[in-house]
Amino acid sequence: MSLSQALLNQDRLALSRLLTHVENNSEEGRKALDELYPHTGKAHLIGITGAPGTGKSTLVNQLALQYSKEGKRVAILAVDPSSPFTGGAVLGDRVRMRDLAGDPNVFIRSMASRGSLGGLAQATASMVQVFDAAGFDLILIETVGAGQAEVDIARLAHTTLVVEAPGLGDDIQAIKAGILEIADILVVNKADRPGVENSERALRGMLDMAHPTQRVFHHHGQRMVVPAQTPKADDPLWIPVIKRTVAKDGVGITDLVEAIEDHITFLREGGEWAARERTQLQTTFETLLRDNLFARFLDELSPEIYEETLSNIMLRKQSPWSAAEALLDRRRA
Protein backbone atom coordinates (compact mmCIF):
# COMPACT_ATOMS: atom_id res chain seq x y z
CA MET A 1 0.00 0.00 0.00
CA SER A 2 1.34 3.45 -0.92
CA LEU A 3 1.86 6.17 1.68
CA SER A 4 -0.93 8.22 0.09
CA GLN A 5 -3.44 5.38 0.39
CA ALA A 6 -2.34 4.65 3.95
CA LEU A 7 -2.84 8.32 4.83
CA LEU A 8 -6.36 8.27 3.37
CA ASN A 9 -7.00 5.32 5.69
CA GLN A 10 -5.95 7.61 8.59
CA ASP A 11 -2.65 5.87 9.29
CA ARG A 12 -0.78 8.27 11.61
CA LEU A 13 2.62 6.77 10.80
CA ALA A 14 2.04 7.31 7.08
CA LEU A 15 1.00 10.88 7.87
CA SER A 16 4.26 11.53 9.73
CA ARG A 17 6.36 10.08 6.92
CA LEU A 18 4.53 12.03 4.23
CA LEU A 19 4.89 15.29 6.13
CA THR A 20 8.64 14.71 6.28
CA HIS A 21 8.80 14.02 2.54
CA VAL A 22 6.79 17.15 1.80
CA GLU A 23 8.84 19.34 4.13
CA ASN A 24 12.03 18.11 2.47
CA ASN A 25 10.50 18.62 -1.00
CA SER A 26 11.41 15.08 -2.03
CA GLU A 27 10.20 13.44 -5.24
CA GLU A 28 7.99 11.08 -3.22
CA GLY A 29 6.48 14.04 -1.41
CA ARG A 30 5.64 15.86 -4.65
CA LYS A 31 4.09 12.70 -6.08
CA ALA A 32 1.97 12.25 -2.96
CA LEU A 33 0.71 15.84 -3.17
CA ASP A 34 -0.52 15.18 -6.70
CA GLU A 35 -2.30 12.01 -5.57
CA LEU A 36 -3.86 13.61 -2.50
CA TYR A 37 -4.99 16.90 -4.04
CA PRO A 38 -8.46 15.64 -5.14
CA HIS A 39 -9.15 14.77 -1.48
CA THR A 40 -8.49 18.29 -0.17
CA GLY A 41 -10.63 21.39 0.28
CA LYS A 42 -12.70 20.33 3.30
CA ALA A 43 -10.74 21.44 6.36
CA HIS A 44 -11.14 24.79 8.10
CA LEU A 45 -7.75 26.52 8.32
CA ILE A 46 -7.22 28.75 11.36
CA GLY A 47 -4.11 30.90 11.53
CA ILE A 48 -2.81 32.08 14.89
CA THR A 49 -0.28 34.88 14.77
CA GLY A 50 1.03 37.67 16.92
CA ALA A 51 4.14 38.97 18.63
CA PRO A 52 6.32 36.62 20.68
CA GLY A 53 5.25 36.32 24.31
CA THR A 54 1.54 36.75 23.74
CA GLY A 55 0.78 33.11 24.58
CA LYS A 56 -0.02 31.76 21.12
CA SER A 57 1.08 28.19 21.86
CA THR A 58 -0.95 28.01 25.08
CA LEU A 59 -3.96 29.39 23.22
CA VAL A 60 -3.57 26.78 20.47
CA ASN A 61 -3.36 24.10 23.15
CA GLN A 62 -6.66 25.20 24.67
CA LEU A 63 -8.41 25.52 21.31
CA ALA A 64 -7.33 22.01 20.33
CA LEU A 65 -8.58 20.63 23.67
CA GLN A 66 -11.94 22.33 23.18
CA TYR A 67 -12.42 21.08 19.63
CA SER A 68 -11.27 17.58 20.60
CA LYS A 69 -13.93 17.46 23.32
CA GLU A 70 -16.47 18.24 20.60
CA GLY A 71 -15.28 15.16 18.68
CA LYS A 72 -13.44 17.05 15.96
CA ARG A 73 -10.08 15.98 14.55
CA VAL A 74 -7.51 18.75 14.91
CA ALA A 75 -4.10 19.12 13.28
CA ILE A 76 -1.59 21.63 14.64
CA LEU A 77 1.19 22.95 12.45
CA ALA A 78 3.61 25.03 14.51
CA VAL A 79 6.23 26.93 12.53
CA ASP A 80 9.30 27.48 14.71
CA PRO A 81 12.19 29.85 13.98
CA SER A 82 15.28 28.16 12.59
CA SER A 83 18.77 28.44 13.98
CA PRO A 84 20.85 30.66 11.66
CA PHE A 85 23.78 28.26 12.21
CA THR A 86 22.35 24.73 12.12
CA GLY A 87 19.03 25.37 10.35
CA GLY A 88 17.25 23.38 13.06
CA ALA A 89 14.19 24.44 15.04
CA VAL A 90 13.74 24.68 18.79
CA LEU A 91 10.34 22.94 18.59
CA GLY A 92 9.38 24.66 21.83
CA ASP A 93 5.68 24.52 21.04
CA ARG A 94 5.54 20.83 21.91
CA VAL A 95 6.72 21.66 25.43
CA ARG A 96 3.69 23.91 25.89
CA MET A 97 1.22 21.38 24.46
CA ARG A 98 1.72 18.51 26.89
CA ASP A 99 -2.03 18.41 27.60
CA LEU A 100 -2.58 17.09 24.06
CA ALA A 101 -0.19 14.15 24.39
CA GLY A 102 -1.96 10.89 23.63
CA ASP A 103 -5.13 12.54 22.32
CA PRO A 104 -6.21 10.46 19.28
CA ASN A 105 -8.10 13.44 17.81
CA VAL A 106 -5.04 15.73 17.79
CA PHE A 107 -1.87 15.60 15.69
CA ILE A 108 0.97 18.06 16.32
CA ARG A 109 3.70 18.80 13.82
CA SER A 110 6.47 21.36 14.32
CA MET A 111 8.54 22.58 11.43
CA ALA A 112 11.41 25.01 10.96
CA SER A 113 10.86 28.27 9.11
CA ARG A 114 14.25 27.72 7.38
CA GLY A 115 14.76 31.41 6.83
CA SER A 116 11.41 32.00 5.19
CA LEU A 117 10.06 35.50 5.77
CA GLY A 118 6.55 36.33 6.86
CA GLY A 119 6.36 33.73 9.60
CA LEU A 120 5.50 30.84 7.31
CA ALA A 121 7.86 28.28 5.84
CA GLN A 122 7.57 27.66 2.11
CA ALA A 123 6.42 24.09 2.72
CA THR A 124 3.60 25.11 5.07
CA ALA A 125 0.91 25.25 2.39
CA SER A 126 1.89 21.81 1.12
CA MET A 127 1.83 20.31 4.61
CA VAL A 128 -1.59 21.83 5.18
CA GLN A 129 -2.78 20.02 2.05
CA VAL A 130 -1.58 16.73 3.53
CA PHE A 131 -3.49 17.36 6.77
CA ASP A 132 -6.56 18.30 4.75
CA ALA A 133 -6.44 15.08 2.74
CA ALA A 134 -5.96 13.10 5.97
CA GLY A 135 -9.45 14.11 7.03
CA PHE A 136 -8.78 16.63 9.80
CA ASP A 137 -11.70 18.96 10.48
CA LEU A 138 -9.55 21.87 11.62
CA ILE A 139 -5.94 22.80 10.97
CA LEU A 140 -4.42 25.27 13.43
CA ILE A 141 -1.38 27.04 11.93
CA GLU A 142 0.73 28.80 14.51
CA THR A 143 3.36 31.08 13.03
CA VAL A 144 6.78 32.13 14.25
CA GLY A 145 5.66 35.38 15.81
CA ALA A 146 7.82 37.73 13.77
CA GLY A 147 5.59 40.77 14.21
CA GLN A 148 4.23 43.09 11.55
CA ALA A 149 5.73 41.23 8.58
CA GLU A 150 3.72 38.16 9.50
CA VAL A 151 0.90 38.73 7.03
CA ASP A 152 1.44 35.63 4.88
CA ILE A 153 -0.89 33.72 7.20
CA ALA A 154 -3.87 35.72 5.88
CA ARG A 155 -3.27 34.30 2.40
CA LEU A 156 -3.41 30.74 3.70
CA ALA A 157 -6.00 30.63 6.50
CA HIS A 158 -9.77 30.94 6.33
CA THR A 159 -9.85 32.54 9.78
CA THR A 160 -6.94 34.54 11.19
CA LEU A 161 -6.50 35.15 14.91
CA VAL A 162 -4.13 37.93 15.92
CA VAL A 163 -3.08 37.52 19.54
CA GLU A 164 -2.10 40.51 21.66
CA ALA A 165 -1.28 40.76 25.35
CA PRO A 166 -1.13 43.68 27.79
CA GLY A 167 2.17 44.77 29.22
CA LEU A 168 4.34 43.97 26.19
CA GLY A 169 4.89 47.56 25.09
CA ASP A 170 2.99 50.72 24.31
CA ASP A 171 -0.51 50.58 22.87
CA ILE A 172 0.65 51.99 19.54
CA GLN A 173 2.86 48.93 18.97
CA ALA A 174 -0.23 46.72 18.92
CA ILE A 175 -1.99 48.74 16.26
CA LYS A 176 0.78 49.41 13.74
CA ALA A 177 -0.10 48.78 10.11
CA GLY A 178 0.58 45.31 8.80
CA ILE A 179 -0.52 42.78 11.35
CA LEU A 180 -3.77 44.24 12.71
CA GLU A 181 -5.37 44.48 9.27
CA ILE A 182 -5.20 40.73 8.71
CA ALA A 183 -7.20 39.86 11.84
CA ASP A 184 -10.62 38.26 11.61
CA ILE A 185 -10.63 37.91 15.39
CA LEU A 186 -8.45 39.86 17.82
CA VAL A 187 -7.55 37.96 20.97
CA VAL A 188 -6.34 39.85 24.03
CA ASN A 189 -4.66 36.99 25.88
CA LYS A 190 -3.28 37.13 29.43
CA ALA A 191 -6.34 39.25 30.22
CA ASP A 192 -5.71 38.85 33.96
CA ARG A 193 -2.76 41.23 33.67
CA PRO A 194 -2.95 44.94 34.49
CA GLY A 195 -3.54 47.19 31.51
CA VAL A 196 -5.91 44.88 29.65
CA GLU A 197 -8.51 47.65 29.41
CA ASN A 198 -6.01 49.99 27.77
CA SER A 199 -4.95 47.32 25.27
CA GLU A 200 -8.54 46.51 24.34
CA ARG A 201 -9.43 50.20 24.10
CA ALA A 202 -6.53 50.81 21.69
CA LEU A 203 -7.53 47.86 19.51
CA ARG A 204 -11.17 48.89 19.50
CA GLY A 205 -10.21 52.42 18.57
CA MET A 206 -8.33 51.18 15.52
CA LEU A 207 -11.22 48.94 14.52
CA ASP A 208 -13.63 51.87 14.78
CA MET A 209 -11.38 53.86 12.46
CA ALA A 210 -11.26 51.03 9.92
CA HIS A 211 -14.90 49.94 10.32
CA PRO A 212 -16.76 52.88 11.90
CA THR A 213 -19.92 51.85 13.73
CA GLN A 214 -20.63 55.40 14.90
CA ARG A 215 -19.73 58.97 14.04
CA VAL A 216 -18.66 61.48 16.68
CA PHE A 217 -19.04 65.22 16.24
CA HIS A 218 -19.46 68.31 18.40
CA HIS A 219 -22.47 70.62 18.29
CA HIS A 220 -22.32 73.83 20.33
CA GLY A 221 -19.55 72.28 22.40
CA GLN A 222 -21.53 69.09 23.12
CA ARG A 223 -20.14 65.71 22.07
CA MET A 224 -22.72 63.93 19.89
CA VAL A 225 -22.57 60.26 18.85
CA VAL A 226 -24.54 59.04 15.84
CA PRO A 227 -24.53 55.44 14.55
CA ALA A 228 -22.85 55.08 11.18
CA GLN A 229 -24.78 53.83 8.19
CA THR A 230 -24.99 50.05 8.32
CA PRO A 231 -23.81 47.99 5.34
CA LYS A 232 -26.39 46.93 2.81
CA ALA A 233 -27.85 43.44 3.08
CA ASP A 234 -26.25 42.42 -0.21
CA ASP A 235 -22.85 43.80 0.85
CA PRO A 236 -21.76 41.59 3.77
CA LEU A 237 -18.94 42.89 5.91
CA TRP A 238 -17.14 41.06 8.67
CA ILE A 239 -16.03 43.44 11.41
CA PRO A 240 -13.28 41.84 13.52
CA VAL A 241 -14.33 41.05 17.07
CA ILE A 242 -12.20 41.31 20.21
CA LYS A 243 -12.15 38.46 22.70
CA ARG A 244 -10.38 38.31 26.06
CA THR A 245 -8.75 35.06 27.15
CA VAL A 246 -6.53 33.72 29.89
CA ALA A 247 -5.29 30.70 27.97
CA LYS A 248 -3.23 29.18 30.80
CA ASP A 249 -6.44 28.84 32.84
CA GLY A 250 -8.78 28.09 29.92
CA VAL A 251 -10.74 31.29 30.52
CA GLY A 252 -12.59 32.72 27.50
CA ILE A 253 -11.87 29.77 25.21
CA THR A 254 -15.56 28.86 24.79
CA ASP A 255 -16.39 32.43 23.72
CA LEU A 256 -13.46 32.41 21.31
CA VAL A 257 -14.63 29.15 19.73
CA GLU A 258 -18.10 30.65 19.29
CA ALA A 259 -16.57 33.67 17.54
CA ILE A 260 -14.65 31.35 15.22
CA GLU A 261 -17.86 29.46 14.42
CA ASP A 262 -19.62 32.77 13.70
CA HIS A 263 -16.85 33.61 11.25
CA ILE A 264 -17.19 30.24 9.52
CA THR A 265 -20.92 30.87 9.13
CA PHE A 266 -20.20 34.32 7.67
CA LEU A 267 -17.70 32.90 5.19
CA ARG A 268 -20.00 30.16 3.97
CA GLU A 269 -23.22 32.17 3.82
CA GLY A 270 -21.65 35.25 2.25
CA GLY A 271 -19.67 33.44 -0.42
CA GLU A 272 -16.38 34.56 1.08
CA TRP A 273 -15.23 30.97 1.66
CA ALA A 274 -14.77 30.37 -2.08
CA ALA A 275 -12.95 33.70 -2.45
CA ARG A 276 -10.46 32.79 0.26
CA GLU A 277 -9.99 29.33 -1.24
CA ARG A 278 -9.09 30.99 -4.54
CA THR A 279 -6.60 33.29 -2.81
CA GLN A 280 -4.96 30.33 -1.05
CA LEU A 281 -4.59 28.28 -4.21
CA GLN A 282 -3.50 31.25 -6.32
CA THR A 283 -0.78 32.12 -3.79
CA THR A 284 0.44 28.52 -3.71
CA PHE A 285 0.40 28.25 -7.51
CA GLU A 286 2.24 31.53 -8.07
CA THR A 287 4.86 30.69 -5.43
CA LEU A 288 5.54 27.31 -7.01
CA LEU A 289 5.66 28.85 -10.46
CA ARG A 290 8.11 31.52 -9.35
CA ASP A 291 10.38 29.07 -7.53
CA ASN A 292 10.39 26.54 -10.38
CA LEU A 293 11.07 29.18 -13.03
CA PHE A 294 13.98 30.55 -11.00
CA ALA A 295 15.42 27.05 -10.47
CA ARG A 296 15.17 26.24 -14.18
CA PHE A 297 16.71 29.57 -15.11
CA LEU A 298 19.75 28.87 -12.93
CA ASP A 299 20.04 25.34 -14.30
CA GLU A 300 20.21 26.68 -17.86
CA LEU A 301 22.63 29.46 -16.95
CA SER A 302 26.30 28.51 -17.09
CA PRO A 303 28.20 28.92 -13.80
CA GLU A 304 30.84 31.00 -15.57
CA ILE A 305 28.32 33.61 -16.76
CA TYR A 306 26.70 33.70 -13.33
CA GLU A 307 30.05 34.26 -11.57
CA GLU A 308 31.11 36.88 -14.14
CA THR A 309 27.87 38.79 -13.65
CA LEU A 310 28.18 38.58 -9.88
CA SER A 311 31.77 39.85 -10.07
CA ASN A 312 30.65 42.83 -12.17
CA ILE A 313 28.04 43.64 -9.56
CA MET A 314 30.62 43.39 -6.75
CA LEU A 315 33.01 45.69 -8.65
CA ARG A 316 30.18 48.18 -9.22
CA LYS A 317 30.59 47.81 -12.99
CA GLN A 318 26.98 46.77 -13.31
CA SER A 319 23.94 47.27 -11.11
CA PRO A 320 21.91 44.26 -9.93
CA TRP A 321 18.91 45.57 -11.87
CA SER A 322 20.70 45.92 -15.22
CA ALA A 323 22.49 42.60 -14.64
CA ALA A 324 19.22 40.76 -14.09
CA GLU A 325 17.72 42.40 -17.17
CA ALA A 326 20.78 41.48 -19.25
CA LEU A 327 20.60 37.81 -18.21
CA LEU A 328 16.90 37.69 -19.04
CA ASP A 329 17.53 39.32 -22.43
CA ARG A 330 20.28 36.76 -23.10
CA ARG A 331 17.84 33.93 -22.36
CA ARG A 332 15.15 35.41 -24.63
CA ALA A 333 17.67 35.60 -27.44
pTM of the model: 0.83
**Is the pLDDT assigned to residue 16 strictly greater than 80?**
yes
Q: What mean pLDDT is reported for the chain?
A: 81
Q: How far apart are CA 175 and CA 206, in angstroms?
A: 7
Average pLDDT over residues 19-37: 93
Per-residue pLDDT reduced to its tens digit, 30-66: 999 999 999 999 999 999 988 888 889 899 999 999 9
Percent of the chain with pLDDT over 90: 49
Per-residue pLDDT reduced to its tens digit, 282-325: 888 888 898 889 989 999 999 999 999 999 999 999 999 999 99
Domain boundaries, the chain: 40-272, 301-332
Burial track 22-61 (b if 16+ CB lie within 10 A, e otherwise): bbeeeebbeebbeebeeebeebbbbbbbbbeebbbbbbbb
**What is the 3 state secondary structure string of 232-274?**
CCCCCCCCCEEEECEHHHCECHHHHHHHHHHHHHHHHHHCHHH
Residue 181's pLDDT band, with cuts at 50, 70 and 90, is confident
Per-residue pLDDT reduced to its tens digit, 278-292: 988 888 888 889 888
Determine if residue 151 is left, alpha or beta; phi over 0 gives left, psi from -120 to 50 gives alpha, anything else beta.
Answer: alpha
CATH 3.40.50.300 for the 40-272 domain, yes or no: yes
